[in-house]
Amino acid sequence: MTSLKLYRRDRLWVVTQGLLPTFVAEILLDPWDQVGEVVLYADSSEQVQLEVLRLAASHVRQYVQHRTTLAFDGLMVAEHQNHNLTREDSNRFMDFSAIPQEVWEMDRETVLRRLRELHISVSVAKHRRFEDAIDAALEQVGVAIKYETVPQRTIFNNEVVVRFIVEEPNSFTFWHSQSKPHGGFDLYIVPAYHPVMNGRESVGLVNGGTDSYISGNAVRSIYCPEDAQALDSSNNFGTSWNHVKHPYYAKGQSFRVSLITTKVRSAEGMRELTKLLRAILGLGNEYLGISGGFHAPLKSDHNRLLEIGRRSPWPQAEYERGGNIARGSEQHCVWAHRVLKEEGQLEKAYVPLWFVDEGWLQIYEGAEVRHGLY
């Protein structure tokens, strides 16, 4: 049947080949001891890779219970086998001779499609160690970058937090996501120096409310540089991007990122990391946008209006209960207006007409300025 052998290490199966074992693949288990992810090694033969995939498919056929109720064309476990996979089950399944004939007859594309239908990802690793993959990605950036792993508890066995570091004059820059003004319904003041005003494209998007890299595969989360945070990180509940020193960008010599070690070892994962780092360093025509976060060091528009006992000048406020609500971006515009004026960049910036016409600078005149206000 096959010369492959399987060894279990906690929630990881290591697949080897030959009398002198050579590692050829990894099969990661989920919390129920079911196949969660398959990592093939790029230097393994296509036949070996196919046998590993068939093994994973056979496991799905017999044991997968907690991922979906969709039929799997004969691969899905029978309903009467309604139990979690025990260690005994797992050890018994490590025998390749248990793979059904119909699974052995499947080609690569069929197995891949059916595994992915059950959200079992399959990647091809070019490196055994994630450190080697990071080193390879950094070689392609064009700027000397150091990195260190950061001890941190995570809920995923295949996740690691890494801090990237550059020396001056280089720095990492992250931009508050903005849209190019189009008139009428623009919510923000946009400075002339923002990348969106200069034809640059966003390489991806970070959710400023969760730190998650929305566009990522190998990259799970990206955290605001500590030097750019206006408050101690312990005060940034839920995200590191809430309170940033500048209304438009966060800059620092270092930042932390959460990487998926199984994904970053693939060619695609390394390219993703290289492209991301180049954008953050300002190399090329791309940048990284942060959607959300960047809270102004002022009370919200609603609370400020309540504080001074004034109805909202926003025309639509009259249709809302109380008449003291607004768009939600007013306090950020006030902060941005003040900062751009100090920088000498206000005249070049786009300022929506409503901001001036409704008198929001006057509404916030004398208001307390402090990060953490709401």
**pLDDT less than 70: residues of the chain:** 1-2, 64-97, 155, 233-237, 319-322
Residue 346 CB neighbour total at 10 angstroms: 17
Of 291, 317, 336, the position where a domain reaches its end is: 291
Q: Is residue 368 part of a domain?
A: no
What is the Cβ-side half-sphere exposure of residue 354, based on CA atoms within 13 angstroms? 17
In sign, the C-alpha dihedral spanning 96, 101, 104, 106 is negative
| Cβ-proximal residues to 294 (8 Å cutoff; 6+ apart), any chain | 176, 208, 241, 242, 244, 247, 248, 332
Cα distance between residue 163 and residue 225, in whole Å: 10
Q: Output the pTM of the full model.
A: 0.89
46-86 pLDDT, tens digit per residue, is: 999 999 999 899 888 877 665 544 434 444 433 333 334 45
Question: Residue 257: which domain range?
Answer: 130-291
Are 120 and 134 part of one and the same domain?
no
Q: Specify whether the CB–CB gap between 203 and 195 falls below 8 A.
A: no
Of 270, 291, 312, the position where a domain reaches its end is: 291
Cα distance between residue 136 and residue 105, in whole Å: 37
Q: Is residue 371 part of a domain?
A: no
- Model pLDDT, residue 40: 97
Q: Specify whether the CB–CB gap between 223 and 240 falls below 8 A.
A: yes
CA 312 to chain centre: 37
126-155 pLDDT, tens digit per residue, is: 999 999 999 999 999 999 999 999 987 776
Structural tokens at position 347: 């005249």
Cα distance between residue 224 and residue 251, in whole Å: 8
- Model pLDDT, residue 3: 72
Domain count, the chain: 3
Are 281 and 319 part of one and the same domain?
no
Structural tokens at position 20: 């002198």
Q: Is residue 373 part of a domain?
A: no
Of 256, 291, 326, the position where a domain reaches its end is: 291
- Model pLDDT, residue 75: 46
Are 74 and 138 part of one and the same domain?
no
Q: Is residue 372 part of a domain?
A: no
Tokens 């002339």 identify what position?
192
